[in-house]
Amino acid sequence: MNLTDSKVLTFDCYGTLIDWETGISDALTPLAERAGKILTKDQKCEAHARFEAAQEAETPTLRYSEVLEKVHDRIAQEWGVAPLPVESRAYGQSVKNWPAFPDSAEALQYLKKHFQLVILSNVDLVSFRASSPRLQVDFDQVLTAEEIGSYKPDLRNFEFMLRKMEAAGYRKGDILHTAESLFHDHLPANKMGLASAWIHRRAGKPGHGATFPPESMPEYTFRFTSLGEMARAHQSLLQH
C-alpha cells in the first residue's frame, strides 16, 4: 500500500495534531506546586494517563471538559491534596490553551489538497472549536466523542466514523487512520480492519506519556515521527 492509495485521512487530534502533552503538563503545574511536587513533563502526563482512560470508560457520555475535571480531582487525591473546584474547572477548560505541533498546520494544508480530512477525536465540540484555528484548515467532517456517546478505544467510535464515511461515498479501503496513540487509535483500527499511519510524536522518548499503554503492540501501515514527515513522503511519491 502507498500513501497515494487512500482518499480519506481520519485524524486523532490531541496528541497527533495538538501538542496535548505540553498542554497537560502546563495545566497540571499549579496542582503540582500546591502539592509540593517537582515533576518532569512526562511525570505529569503519566499521572493524567493513569486516570483518563478509566474515567472515560466509567462516564462515556460526559463531555471531555468534564472528564478532565474528574481526572484533575483524582490526580489531586493521588498527590495528597484536596481537590479544589476552581482548579478542576480550569483544567477542564485548558484544552483551548493547548498548542498545535509546529508542523501540523502546514502539513494539513498540503494534505487537504489530496485527501478528505476528518477528525475522530475524544473531545467535546466546544473544546475542538477552540483548537481548530491553530490547525488552519477546514476539515470535511468533525466527529467527537460528545456526538458519538463513547470514547476511543471503544469500537463504537470507529463504527460511527465508518457509517459517516459510507454515507459520504467512501469505503473502508479508502481510509487511512492517522494517529499517535497506540491505545486509543491503532489497536481499535486493527480490530476494525483499517489501515493506519502512526505519527510517532514520542519517538526516542521512554514510556507513553499522556496515553495509557496499549495491551499489546498493534500493527500499522506507515510510521512517521511527524505529520510534516508524512506530507513530505506523500509529495515525494507524486514526484517519482
Catalytic-labelled residue, pool 12, 42, 154, 185: 12
For residues 196 and 179, what is the distance between their CA atoms, to the nearest angstrom?
8
For residues 131 and 159, what is the distance between their CA atoms, to the nearest angstrom?
25
- 175-179 and 195-199 as β-strands: parallel, antiparallel, unpaired? parallel
Per the CB < 8 A criterion, the answer to whether 160 and 50 are in contact is no
Per the CB < 8 A criterion, the answer to whether 18 and 99 are in contact is yes
Q: Within 13 Å, how many C-alpha atoms sit on residue 23's CB side?
A: 22
Cis peptide upstream of residue 133 (ω within 30 degrees of 0): no
12: annotated active-site residue: yes
- 8-11 and 222-224 as β-strands: parallel, antiparallel, unpaired? unpaired
Q: Which residues are catalytic?
A: 12
